[in-house]
Chain A
Amino acid sequence: MSQRPTLHVTIVTAERTVYDGEAEMVNAPGSEGQLGILPRHAPLLTLLKVGELRVRHGGADEGFFIGGGFLEVNRNVVTVLADDAERASTIDESKAEEARRRAEAILAQRPEGMDEAAVAAELERAVGRLHVADLHRRRGGRAARPPSDQELGG
C-alpha cells in the first residue's frame, strides 16, 4: 500500500451538508490558534472560532467561512460541526456588508433590552464572512487554485 492516505472531510451545519469529500490537508481556525491537519493526524477534538477553513484538494485550496463550532479528527476523518458555514465562492458580500452595518448601528445605539452578546456575535460573523470572501478573491477569484508567487508577494 504505497498510496498516500487522504483525509475524508465533511462540513455540516444544522441545516445542510456544506462539503463532503477527500482532501490532502485541512487548515482550520481552532479556538487555540490556526490548525493544520494532515493525514494520520492524532485524534483531536477542538472548538472552532469564526474564521476561514481551507480544504486542500488536488493541490488547490478551497476556502470556507466557518461561524464557530467543533472539529473532530479521528482515523483520517475530519468532521466539522459548524454553527454556520458557507463556501467562500458563494458568499454574498453585499448581504454580509449590510449585516455588519446593521450590527454596528445596534451596538452604537444600544437600544433597551439589547442582547449585546448576540449582536456582537452577529457582527463577528459578518466581519468574518467579508474577510473570507476577501481572501478568496485575492487567491484568484472563482476557480479554486493555489496562489501564484506574485499574488503571495502582493
Chain B
Amino acid sequence: MPSTREIRRRIRSVKNVGQITKAVQMVASSKMRRAQDRVYSSRPYSEQLITLLARLSSQAAGEEDLPLMRVRPAHNAAIVLLTPDRGLAGALSANVIRRAAALVNELHQETGNPNLGVRYIAVGRKGRDWVVRSGQRLLAEFTQLGDQPRLGDIRAIARTITDAFIAEQVDLVYLVYPKFVSTLSQVPTPLQLLPVRPPSEAEEEGPTPQYIYEPDAVTIFSELLPRYVETLIYQPYLETIASFYAAQLVAMKNATDNANDLAADLTLTYNKARQAAITTQILEVVAGAGG
C-alpha cells in the first residue's frame, strides 16, 4: 500500500485538476449561451434572404447562366471545414473531420469521378492541423476568427470560394460543420455551397406578389446570390462556436465528475492507510508495555 503522504499528494493534485475543469465548464456554459443568442439573432436575416431568393428564382428562371449557379463536370471539389480553434471539447473536431472524409467518398460516387481532386479550406485551427498533418491539399486557411466573427472575415472566406469557383479551379464546393442540435448533441453536417442551388419556396399563403423591380429581377437575383453564400457560411460558423462550447461543457463536466469520484476513492484509501498505521502503532505500544 502506498504511503499516506503519497496518497495525500495525489488527492491534492486530483482536486486541483477538478477545480480547473470545473472553471472551464462554467466559462463554456456562459459562452455557449452567448453563442446561441448570436445564432438566433442572425436568423431573421437569413430567413428573409431565403424567402426572397425562393420567390425570385421562379422569376429569374431561364437565367441559369449566372456564374455562381453554373453546373460543370466535376474535376475538382473544395470542402470548407468548420472546426474550433481549440480543443478540450471531446470528439467534436474528430467527428467533423470524419464526416468530411466520408463526404469525399460520397462525392466520388455521386460525380462518378474517382479522380476528383479535393482541396480543403480550413476555418478553425483543428481542421487546418488535420489537413496539414494528413498531407492533404489546403486551398486556404482562416483561423483565430474569434467567437464573434466580423462580417468582413466571413466575406473574405466567401470571396475566396466564389473566386476559385468562377476561375474554374473548383467545380463543387461543400461545407462541413458541427450543427448545434442541443447541449448534448452536435451533428456533423455537410452542405452544398456552390454551384448555388436556390432554395425552393416553402408553402406560402398566396402566389408570389407582382413586384416592381428596381433595377430588374435578374440584377437583384444576381446580387442576392453572393449574400446567400455568405449566410451559408456565417450561420454554420456561429453554430460551430455554439457546438464547441456545448461539447466543451459536457467534456469538462465529465472530467469534473471523474475527478470528484477519484478524490473520494483516494480519500477512502487514505483513511484506511492511516487507520492501519495507527493500529500497528498501538499494537507495537501494547506489545512493548506487556514485554
Please list the residues of chain A having a beta carbon within 8 angstroms of any beta carbon in chain B.
10, 12-17, 30-32, 42-47, 70, 72, 74-75, 79, 81, 83-84
Contact = CB atoms under 8 A, between A and B. Distances in A.
Name the residue in B212, B214, B219 with the highest tally of chain A Cβ atoms < 10 Å from its Cβ.
B214
B203 interface: no
A45 B220 contact: yes
A16 B234 CA distance: 12
Interface residues on B, range: 20 to 34
Contacts of A13: 45, 151
Contacts of B151: 13-15, 83-84
Contacts of A31: 214-215
Secondary structure call for the A interface: strand
A81 B42 CA distance: 12
Contacts of A46: 212-214, 220
A84 B234 CA distance: 15
A74 B48 CA distance: 13
B52 A70 contact: yes
Name the residue in A12, A17, A42 with the highest tally of chain B Cβ atoms < 10 Å from its Cβ.
A12
B44 interface: yes
Contacts of A30: 214
Nearest to B231: A14
Nearest to B217: A45
A12 B151 CA distance: 14
B214 A70 contact: no
B111 to A, nearest CB: 31
5 cross-chain pairs, A with B, having the tightest CB-CB distances, nearest first: A43-B209, A46-B214, A12-B45, A45-B211, A16-B41
Given A47-B219, A47-B220, A14 B234 contact: yes
A83 B231 CA distance: 11
